[in-house]
């Protein structure tokens, strides 16, 4: 499983989420709702001073990140033609079901992620209702929860892979 990108896929997704958090915060700082009526609302985005620079750097970094991601997927698919990764699919790439061991590992990791969501999503909803948080804070909260999901999955799989390698 060494060099199998399916194992490190959560790290790639955490990197993308980190960049999206920066873009979300900067966009939130640059956006101002100017007019709310019964038929809709208007908003204004103003990128001034350091906000414009951070936004441009974050967008550039995101484009570079996606390019590297696609290049690594192509490399992986050439190296492992029987374990291909699709860049965009509805089925998460983290589901590794090559054999019974990986099927069991995936099952345990996703069980931990489900437990994580069972606690964190209600907490985020509670904080957002009680704290009257703005949309940017809620979006960043959702992205942080998603980042936590990938961290839990990756760390669980890594621990199980290490213990499986030690047994061999």
- The answer to whether 27 and 135 are in contact (CB under 8 A) is no
- Is 60 exceeded by the pLDDT of residue 1? no
What are residue 105's DSSP bridge partners? none
pLDDT digits (tens, 9 = 90+) for 72-118: 999 988 988 888 888 777 777 677 667 677 778 888 888 999 999 99
| Model pTM above 0.85 | no
pLDDT > 70 fraction of the chain, expressed in percent and rounded: 92
Domain map (residue ranges) of the chain: 5-81+96-167
What share of the chain has pLDDT > 90, as a percent? Answer: 37
Contact criterion met (CB below 8 Å) for 47 and 28: no
Tokens describing residue 46: 């103003």
| Cross-strand bridge partners of residue 31 | 45
Backbone angles phi, psi at 34, to 5 degrees: -105, -30
Q: Is the pLDDT of residue 18 over 90?
A: yes
Phi then psi for residue 40, to 5 deg, are 160, -160
């Amino acid at each position: 499983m060494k060099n199998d990108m399916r194992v490190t896929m959560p790290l790639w997704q955490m990197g993308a989420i980190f960049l999206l958090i920066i873009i979300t915060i900067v966009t939130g700082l640059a956006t101002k709702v100017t007019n709310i009526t019964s038929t809709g609302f208007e908003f204004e985005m103003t990128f001034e001073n350091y906000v414009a620079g951070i936004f441009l750097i974050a967008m550039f970094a995101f484009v570079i990140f996606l390019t590297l991601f696609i290049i690594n997927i192509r490399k992986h698919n050439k190296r492992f033609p029987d374990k291909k990764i699709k860049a965009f699919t509805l089925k998460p790439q983290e589901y590794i079901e090559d054999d019974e061991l990986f099927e069991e590992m995936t099952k345990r990791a996703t069980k931990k992620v489900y437990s994580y969501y069972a606690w964190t999503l209600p907490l985020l909803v509670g904080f957002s209702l009680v704290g009257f948080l703005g949309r940017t804070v809620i979006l960043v909260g959702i992205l942080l929860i998603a980042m936590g999901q990938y961290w839990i999955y990756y760390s669980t799989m890594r621990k199980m892979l290490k213990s499986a390698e030690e047994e061999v």
